[in-house]
């Protein structure tokens, strides 16, 4: 199996101003071509450091993918570093210039002197056109390695890799008689800690099976991944069948805590249930500040099931917009199951929706007490008068303000998902 290294270039990645997200889709794309990413490196804008990173990578892998440092400014030095590391001098390439000229013309612009530096490509390299930006990339074979340089802008790098790089890598693998891919499955869970999941899945995957089991925790839950890593399981139906069996076994052990597969998000799953059930939703948010509404509206077609979202942050807003009685707030406090219940009912009655969802809590870092600590969150659901259509749940989350808001939004959507699943089951029975 070929092995790869991803090198992310940019001092901003080291100074805390920006995250490297390109390696996420690059890892998946390379796996689809049967190439396993063994190393990921981050290097600043110093040319000598980039040269060192390239030379180190060339000594341990056969595929090197660089992202970043192809822009028009003086601190964009990937082209120069590749030329220096490979001893392939930079040459102005007509196809690179023409691609840039056409792209800029669409935007009503012409290349500047600084941008013309971007058409300098190491000799012997193939120019990779940029379908969405102005910076061309390149594909170079050197010392038995394939070296790919892509822009750092994620939308550009993703398009260029999918259109120009992935097919080329797959064709070369087929020519070597190694066509295939690394098969992978992912299950998305919420409600179980990573350690609890680990216990439930203990002994499921044997070391000699050729499958790797991975757990990745985040405020949105724990992702369970299964990846074929044994040669005999790659690029054949046997590997797919093994993964299918393991997915079924995981679902049996984990149960309702699994909410999705692959890259599915909670908001996508909830939206699908709402749409299939012909239901509409209204949301009243306090501590999450509109985050639930934002997540729901990120899903195309959400206008068919999302009626409205009200951010009722202050006590007065809850009273005026949702009909929460002043006495109730005074007696129990805004963060209480009683207020969450009235918020859910109030937003449903004041909308055209069949389901009302509410969330109220203390996101921190201040505002907590011994009785009501930071991280205390109540979620309410109201879909009618009977007890099966009214739910209240208490949660106690940890982490910083951002993490608590994420966890609270996920918990609210999960409560809604579970209710929708039960409703669907009752309708089918």
pLDDT tier at 385 (50, 70, 90 boundaries)?
A: low
Answer yes or no: are the C-beta atoms of 147 and 165 closer than 8 Å.
no
Count other Cβ atoms within 10 Å, centred on residue 428: 6
**What is the tens place of the pLDDT at every residue in 342-384?**
999 999 999 989 999 999 999 999 999 999 999 999 999 999 8
Chain segment 229-262, per-residue pLDDT in tens: 654 444 456 778 889 999 999 999 999 999 999 9
How many Å apart are CA 207 and CA 184, to the nearest integer? 17
The verdict on 164 and 50 lying in the same domain is: yes
**Of 103, 203, 85, nearest in space to 151 by CA:** 103
Question: Which residue in 215, 181, 175, 179 sits closest to 197, CA to CA?
Answer: 215
255 and 290 share one domain: no
Residues 375 and 408 in one domain: yes
Same domain, 167 and 210: no
Q: Report, as an integer, the average pLDDT of 166-185.
A: 76
pLDDT of residue 235: 46
Statement to judge: residues 319 and 334 lie in one domain = yes
Q: Tell me, what's the pLDDT at 386? A: 63
- Shared domain for 134 and 51, answered yes or no, is yes
Out of 67-81, 95-109, 185-199, 269-283, least confident range = 95-109
Q: Is the pLDDT of residue 99 over 60?
A: yes
pLDDT tops 60 at residue 139: yes
Residues 244 and 289 both lie in one domain: no
Task: State yes or no: pLDDT of 10 exceeds 50.
Answer: yes
User: What's the domain count of the chain?
Assistant: 3
pLDDT of residue 234: 44
Q: What CATH number is given to the structural domain containing 64?
A: 3.40.980.10
Instruction: Provide the token pair at 347.
Output: 């937003």
Tens of pLDDT, residue by residue over 142-152, are: 999 999 999 99
Q: Domain of 374: which CATH number?
A: 3.90.950.20
Q: For residue 59, what pLDDT is reported?
A: 95
- Structural domain ending residue among the three candidates 175, 198, 215: 175
**Spatial CA neighbour of 5 closest among 166, 121, 147, 114:** 147
Residues 162 and 206 in one domain: no
> Looking at 231, 261, 291, which one is the last position of a domain?
261
Q: Based on the domain organization, do 270 and 358 belong to the same domain?
A: yes
Please, are residues 58 and 141 in contact by the beta-carbon 8 Å criterion?
Answer: no
Task: List CB contacts of 24: < 8 A, sequence separation 6 or more.
Answer: none
Last residue of a domain, one of 124, 148, 175: 175
Mean pLDDT of 38-67: 96
Q: Within a 10 A sphere around the Cβ of 225, how many other Cβ atoms?
A: 13
- CATH code, domain with 221: 3.30.70.2860
Same domain, 197 and 293: no
Q: Which residue has the tokens 């002197």?
A: 113
Determine the structural domain holding residue 299 and report its residue range: 266-428
Q: Quick one: tokens of 217?
A: 């925790």
| Residue 264 predicted with pLDDT over 70 | yes
Say if residue 270's pLDDT is above 90.
yes
Are residues 378 and 348 part of one domain? yes
- Enter the pTM of the model: 0.79
- For residues 313-328, average pLDDT: 97
**416 in the same domain as 308:** yes
């Amino acid at each position: 199996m070929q092995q790869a290294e991803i090198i992310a270039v940019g001092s901003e990645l080291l100074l805390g101003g920006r995250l490297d997200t390109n390696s996420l889709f690059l890892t998946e794309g390379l796996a689809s071509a049967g190439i396993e990413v063994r190393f990921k490196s981050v290097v600043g804008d110093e040319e000598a450091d980039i040269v060192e990173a390239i030379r180190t990578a060339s000594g341990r892998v056969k595929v090197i993918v660089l992202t970043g440092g192809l822009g028009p400014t003086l601190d964009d030095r990937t082209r120069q570093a590749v030329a220096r590391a490979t001893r392939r001098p930079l040459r102005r390439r007509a196809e690179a210039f023409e691609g840039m000229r056409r792209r800029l013309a669409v935007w009503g612009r012409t290349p500047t002197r600084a941008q013309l530096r971007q058409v300098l490509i190491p000799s012997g390299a193939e120019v990779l056109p940029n379908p969405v930006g102005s910076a061309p990339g390149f594909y170079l074979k050197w010392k038995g390695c394939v070296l790919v340089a892509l822009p750092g802008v994620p939308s550009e790098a993703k398009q260029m890799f999918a259109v120009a790089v992935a097919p080329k890598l797959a064709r070369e693998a087929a020519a070597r008689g190694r066509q295939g891919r690394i098969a992978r499955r992912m299950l998305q869970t919420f409600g179980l800690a990573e350690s609890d999941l680990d216990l439930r899945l203990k002994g499921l995957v044997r070391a000699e099976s050729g499958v790797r089991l991975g757990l990745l925790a985040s405020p949105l839950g724990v992702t369970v991944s299964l990846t074929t890593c044994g040669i005999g399981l790659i690029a054949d139906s046997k590997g797919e069948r093994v993964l299918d069996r393991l997915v079924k076994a995981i679902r049996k052990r984990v149960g309702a805590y699994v909410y999705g597969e692959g890259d599915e998000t909670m908001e996508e799953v909830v939206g699908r249930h709402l749409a299939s059930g012909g239901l509409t939703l209204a949301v009243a948010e306090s501590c999450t500040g509109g985050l639930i509404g934002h997540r729901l509206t990120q899903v195309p077609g959400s206008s068919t099931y999302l009626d409205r979202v009200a951010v009722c942050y202050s006590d007065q807003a809850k009273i005026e917009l949702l009909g929460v009685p002043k006495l109730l707030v005074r007696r129990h406090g805004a963060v209480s199951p009683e207020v969450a219940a009235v918020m859910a009912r109030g937003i449903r009655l004041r909308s055209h929706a069949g389901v009302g969802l509410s969330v109220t809590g203390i996101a921190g870092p201040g505002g907590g007490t011994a009785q009501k600590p930071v991280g205390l969150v109540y979620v309410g659901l109201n879909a009618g008068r009977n007890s099966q259509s009214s739910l209240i749940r208490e949660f106690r989350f940890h982490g910083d303000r951002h993490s608590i808001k994420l966890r609270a939004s996920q918990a609210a959507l999960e409560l809604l998902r579970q209710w929708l699943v039960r409703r669907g089951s009752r309708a089918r029975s």
